Structure 1
Amino acid sequence: MWGALLRSGVRGTGGLRSMSSGGPPWSQVVSEAEKIVGYPTSFMSLRCLLSDELSNIAMQVRKLVGTKHPLLDTARGFVYDSRNNLQMRGLVILLISKAAGPSTAELSFQHNMVSGIYSSQRSLAEITELIHTAFLVHRGIVNVGELKSCDGPLKDMQFGNKMAVLSGDFLLANACTSLAQLQNTKVVELISSAIGDLVQGIYYENSKSSEENCLTDDIGISRWKEQVFLSHSALLAKSCQAAMELAKHSTEIQDMAFQYGKHMSMSHKLHSDLQPFVKESSSDTMAFSLNSAPAILHQEFLGREAWIKQIREAQGKGNIMDYKQLQEAIKAGKGVTSAIDLCRCHGNRALAALEHFPPSEARDALANIVCAVTRFP
């Protein structure tokens, strides 16, 4: 049933919504979903962000204005990035909580629900966003040993690193404190393991190569999926499962929530990796990672030696990567179409998991999110 929806549309409570003709943009999908869960998730972490401690940190971060430290770009993204919606994880947790509703064991506690969602599940959504934000901030730490003169004064980068460490640690500490207040051992175990997965995934990303976009490992798509699960999917998948645990749902429903979170976020990552190769009106060449899904799949079809040859040809004598040349080479192969197929495959698996939830506006919104990240020009 759901598989065909990626091609034709989503049947919601208001009738069939066509996705084949473009469908609503991502921002509209998110806006409609936020109305269902009761409030804009863009303000989900507001209580923490307005605390005195973080306000002091924000004042210090302002000193980075005028420098090239990546922490500034991260901070701008929190305020201006409505297109990709940094709060997507919390929104999904709230939607799947509402889609599942109260379990039989929790029917007597429905008075604790607001818009069909338990207060503990809303807290979990906030915790998940805080953890994600903390790791985004930590990813902004630069390796001062690899800095060039064009990157600006060393003291600015060192100060930015200190701010990234302090603010990221602050957010993570607040998340852990709130997690303990949920007083659910299994939920603490799930989210703690997700933090461990994030650390492991990011550690691999950082230790994989000493230079940005330098391919040093002969990695296949299976290994790529394992690594992406750790660094991008584990937090959402385990948070969705934890939300079901907070409502005392069965093991089967918990597993289906996990599967939805896992496969939807895998589709989201594949969609992101594909953007440099599928944008219609992009006159400028977008830089892309040589470890992105289209490049990995291109290498699998082409062969390792031929792939390395293409990279060296694109680098030229000046050792500066000609992304346009490499982009055209990847487009000419099978990597892009295979990545699109893989994105839709994960989308179908996410939609299949939704079949175990009763029909509702929340379930339709979750399906629309999948359709939004599996639709290409």
Structure 2
Amino acid sequence: MYTYKIGIPAEEHDSFVKQSPQKNLLQSSSWAKVKDDWGNERVGFYKDGNLVATASILIRPLPLGMTMFYIPHGPVMNYLDKNLVAFVMTSLKKLAKQKKALFIKFDPFILFQHHQIDEQPIQNPDAKTIIRNLQDAGCEWGGRTTDMSETIQPRFQANIYSKDFSEANLSKKIRQSIRTAKNKGVHVRFGTHELLADFADLMKKTEDRKSIHLRGIDYYRKLLDAYPGHSYITLATLNLKQRLGELEKELETAENILAHYPESVKPNKIANTKKDIERLTDEINFLKEELTKGKETVALSGTLSLEFGATSENIYAGMDEHFRRYQAAIYTWFETANHAFERGNEWQNMGGIENDLSGGLYSFKSKFKPEIEEMIGEFNLPVSPLYKLSNLAYTIRKKLRSKRK
């Protein structure tokens, strides 16, 4: 016999999600603390007294006292159990009517297929059955959308798994970028609130560079506060004065070598030394100019990660393009994942990528040889007779907001 209960304890909900193959950050109870401009309900579904499904529901207030339900990466349940799916959807619809919801939107944490870089995709053999079970329960599938902006959560994501991750497995070019960052004096540190100001500044620079609207320091603080002990900022910095001192010594040595070459030295050796002097002089002048701005140590790149149930999500990342020559971004992302696995996480989600597996996000994240995971996508469960009109309005509003980014 199936039953359901509204307002189950956070501990009961989180324990169930963590033990599920569908465990994910967005179905953790703490995610509702982040999205505190939405309402929230946690619902447990039971069979003969045993918890068999859960849903952490975000509730968006709409005009005229209406609402919209959104279940990010949920509900968490066995979608192959057709009877369970039908009961969960029927129960959610009852609750939605009580809350005057026009419709329920959800995107299960289920793969449609996954892609290895430069290999044929492998389809989830259960995906079509799951879609059919949801459709039979009255849900409308949004399909395999082709644009990132068509869904609330990216349908394609790049995921790194601890069992496959090591510096040795990366390409020669990426390993060289990491070495370049280290050799140029880039230092990576991990922390939380003490790094917020520098991280927020990097995010603002990223926002300006890409002409998009991101978040502010208060939101980043909220993320850290919602996951105490399970959140961290990775920050790459450069001590300008220290780096300048090292370069000036290298320049003095190179100039001394050039001045004392014998007449018999090969011309190409002289040319290479002159190139070294030119390179060193260029960076020295760059650093001297930066030091006039009043900061001895500068932040170059940063990420913010949240953990839940031995999983890690790289939620935000930013960099200072002005210091691109130091290769800090690649070094930062590498150390972010490395730190996640040292903390016992099984995988780290690097975030969304373009659905056509091209573009800037894909180009950068594919350097780390992730699994490219195509999720099953969004579903709508109509609740009100006004569903079609309200969903059309929602879709138009989302497209307009996407164009303004």
TM-score (normalised: structure 1): 0.24
Q: When you count helix as a share of all residues, which structure comes out higher?
A: 1
TM-score (normalised: structure 2): 0.23
Structure of larger gyration radius: 2
